[in-house]
Amino acid sequence: MYICNSVRQSIKIIQHLEVMSSLIIKSFAQYKKEYARSVENPEGFWAERADEFVWHRKWDKVLDYNFVDYQTQWFVNGKLNITENCLDRHLATQGDKKAIVWEPNDPNDAGQTLTYRELHAKVCQFSNVLKSLGVVQGDRVCLYMPMIPELAIAVLACARLGAVHSVVFGGFSAQSISDRINDSACKILVTSDGAFRGNKEIKLKDIADEAMSSTPSVEKCIVFKRTGSFVHWTAGRDLWWHEEMAKASVDCPAISVDSEDPLFILYTSGSTGKPKGVLHTTAGYMVYTHYTFANVFRPGKNDVYWCTADIGWITGHSYIVYGPLLAGATTVMFEGIPTWPDAGRFWQVIDKLKVNQFYTAPTALRSLMGAGLQHVAPYSLSTLKVLGSVGEPINEEAWIWYHKYIGKSRCPIVDTWWQTETGGILISPLPNVTKLKPTMATLPLPGVQPVLLTPEGKEITENNVEGLLCIKYPWPSIIRTTYGDHERCRATYFGLFPGYYFTGDGAKRDEDGYYRIIGRVDDVINVSGHRIGTAEVEDAINKHPFVVESAVVACPHPIKGQGIYAFIICDRTIVSEKAFKDEVLLEVTKQIGAIAKPDIIQVVPGLPKTRSGKIMRRILRKIAEGDISNLGDTSTLLDPSIVDVIKAGAPTLKGK
Ligand code: WTA
Q: Which H, E and C letters describe 533-576, residue by residue?
A: EHHHHHHHHHCCCCEEEEEEEEEEECCCEEEEEEEEEECCCCCC
Mean pLDDT for 21-27 is 84
Q: What is the pLDDT of residue 12?
A: 54
Distance 271 CA to ligand 1 centre (A): 15
> Among 374-378, 483-487, 637-641, which is the least confidently predicted range?
637-641
In which band, very low, low, confident or very high, does the pLDDT at 628 lie, cut at 50, 70 and 90?
Answer: confident
User: Looking at this protein, which amino acid is placed at residue 449?
Assistant: Q
Q: pTM for the whole thing?
A: 0.94
- Cα separation, 255 vs 248, in Å, equals 17
Highest mean pLDDT among 19-33, 496-510, 619-633: 496-510
Q: Give me the percent of the chain exceeding a pLDDT of 90.
A: 91
CA distance 414 to 427: 10
- Where are the chain's structural domains? 7-80, 530-653
Name which residue sits closest to atom 5 of ligand 1, judged by CA. Answer: 419
Contacts with 114 (C-beta within 8 Å, 6 or more apart), sequence order:
98, 99, 100, 102, 122, 149
Residue 466's pLDDT is what? 96
pLDDT of residue 42 exceeding 60: yes
Residue 209: per-residue pLDDT: 98
- The pLDDT, as a whole number, for residue 635 is 82
| Average pLDDT over every residue of 530-551 | 95
Q: Quick one: average pLDDT of 318-334?
A: 98
| pLDDT the model gives residue 655 | 62
Average the pLDDT over 316-338 and give the result. Answer: 98
Determine the pLDDT at residue 3.
40
Q: How confident is the model at residue 22, as a pLDDT?
A: 65
Cα 78 to ligand 1 centroid, rounded to whole Å: 31
Q: Which atom of ligand 1 is nearest to the CA of 415?
A: 15
pLDDT at 19: 46
The mean pLDDT of 330-348, rounded to a whole number, is 98
Question: 18 pLDDT exceeds 50?
Answer: no
CA angle 205, 211, 216 (to 5 degrees): 120
The 3-class SS string of 479-541 reads: CCEECCCHHHHHHHHHCCCCCCEEEEEEEEECCCCCEEEEEECCCEEEECCEEEEHHHHHHHH
For the sheet containing 276-281, what is the strand order? 238-240, 220-224, 188-192, 140-143, 164-167, 262-268, 276-281, 481-482
| 258-283: average pLDDT | 93
- Residues contacting residue 59 through CB under 8 Å, at least 6 positions apart: 47, 50, 75, 76, 77, 78, 259, 283
- Ligand 1 atom at minimum distance from 504 CA: 21
Instruction: Give the pLDDT confidence score for residue 1 in this predicted structure.
Output: 34
Ligand 1 atom index nearest CA of 313: 20
pLDDT in tens, 128-185: 999 999 999 999 999 999 999 999 999 999 999 999 999 999 999 999 999 999 999 9
Q: How much is the pLDDT for 629? A: 82
Reference 114, options 325, 338, 352; nearest CA is: 325
- Write the residue with the smallest CA distance to atom 14 of ligand 1: 392
- Encode pLDDT of 92-124 as tens digits: 999 999 999 999 999 999 999 999 999 999 999
Strands 413-416 and 386-390, by their bridges, are parallel
Give the model's pLDDT for residue 105. 98
Residue 187's SS3 state is coil
Q: Ligand 1: which atom is nearest the Cα of residue 315?
A: 5
The pLDDT, as a whole number, for residue 274 is 85
The residue-averaged pLDDT of 186-196 equals 98
| Protein residue whose Cα sits closest to atom 10 of ligand 1 | 419
**What pLDDT, on the 0 to 100 scale, is given for residue 382?**
98
Closest CA to 311 of 207, 193, 156, 202: 156
Would you state the pLDDT for residue 654?
75
Backbone angles phi, psi at 618, to 5 degrees: -55, -40
For residue 428, the Cα-to-chain-centroid distance in whole angstroms is 16
Residue 358: strand, helix, or coil: strand
CB within 8 Å of 341: residues ≥ 6 apart: 107
pLDDT exceeds cutoff 70 at 319: yes
**CA-to-CA distance for 424 and 577, rounded, in angstroms?**
44
For the cut 90, the answer to whether the pLDDT of residue 627 exceeds it is no
pLDDT surpassing 80 at residue 4: no
Q: Which residues of 600-627 are buried (b: 16+ CB within 10 A; e: fewer)?
A: bbbbbebbbbeeeeebbbebbebbbeee
The preferred substitution site among 318, 523, 526, 560 for testing ligand 1, maximizing ligand atoms within 8 Å of CB, is 526
Residue nearest to atom 8 of ligand 1 (CA): 419
For 505-516, write each residue's pLDDT tens digit.
999 999 999 999
> Mean of the pLDDT values across residues 426-434?
98
Residue nearest to atom 11 of ligand 1 (CA): 417
pLDDT tens figures, 356-375: 999 999 999 999 999 999 99
Indicate if the pLDDT at residue 492 is higher than 70.
yes
What's the confidence (pLDDT) of residue 273? 75
Task: Name the pLDDT band for 636 (thresholds 50, 70, 90).
Answer: confident
For residue 76, pLDDT beyond 70: yes
Decide if 387 contacts 358 (C-beta within 8 A). Answer: yes
Ligand 1, from 505, 515, 528, 532: best to mutate by most atoms within 8 Å of Cβ? 505
Rg (CA), the chain: 25
Angle between helices 283-297 and 42-51 (to 10 degrees): 90
Topology (CATH) of 530-653: GMP Synthetase; Chain A, domain 3 (3.30.300)
- Whether 263 and 285 have beta carbons less than 8 Å apart is answered as yes
Give the residue with greater pLDDT, 456 vs 13: 456
List 444's β-bridge partners, or say none. Answer: 427
The residues lining ligand 1, judged by C-beta closer than 6 Å to any ligand atom, are 268, 313-315, 389-393, 415-420, 441, 503-505, 517, 519-520, 526, 531
Q: Residue 9 has what pLDDT?
A: 53
CA distance 216 to 490: 29
Q: Which residues contact 373 (CB under 8 A, 6 or more apart)?
A: 405
